[in-house]
Amino acid sequence: MTTLQRNPSQVKDAARDSVVRITEQGAGAYVFCSEKAFERRIAQEREDAAFEARLSEAVGRGLADIDAGRFVTSVDEAFDAADALRSKRA
C-alpha cells in the first residue's frame, strides 16, 4: 500500500502486464491490474478449466476401460489389438 501511495506510476506499470497484489501490514488486501491483464487472466483460467475437464473425462474413460478389461500389458498386445481393430473395419 505504501508503494501505491508513494509511487502510483510504478504500481500502474506493473499492473499493465500482470496482477499486482496489494498488502496492508503484510496481509493481502487488494489486487490491481489493467483490464487487458484481467482479460488475459480470465482467458487463461477458462483454458485451464477446459483442459482440466477434458483430462478428467479422459481419465474417467480410461478407468472405465480398465474396469471393463479393455487394456493391454505389452507393446506386442497393443499391436495385436490394433491389427484386430483394423481387420474388423476393413
Contacts of 32 (CB under 8 A, 6+ apart): 4, 11, 15, 19, 20, 22
Taking only the tens place, the pLDDT of each residue in 10-19 is: 888 888 888 8
Taking only the tens place, the pLDDT of each residue in 4-39 is: 778 788 888 888 888 888 888 888 888 889 999 999
Q: Do residues 1 and 22 touch, judged by C-beta distance below 8 A? A: yes
Which residue ranges make up each domain of the chain?
49-90
pTM of the full predicted structure? Answer: 0.61
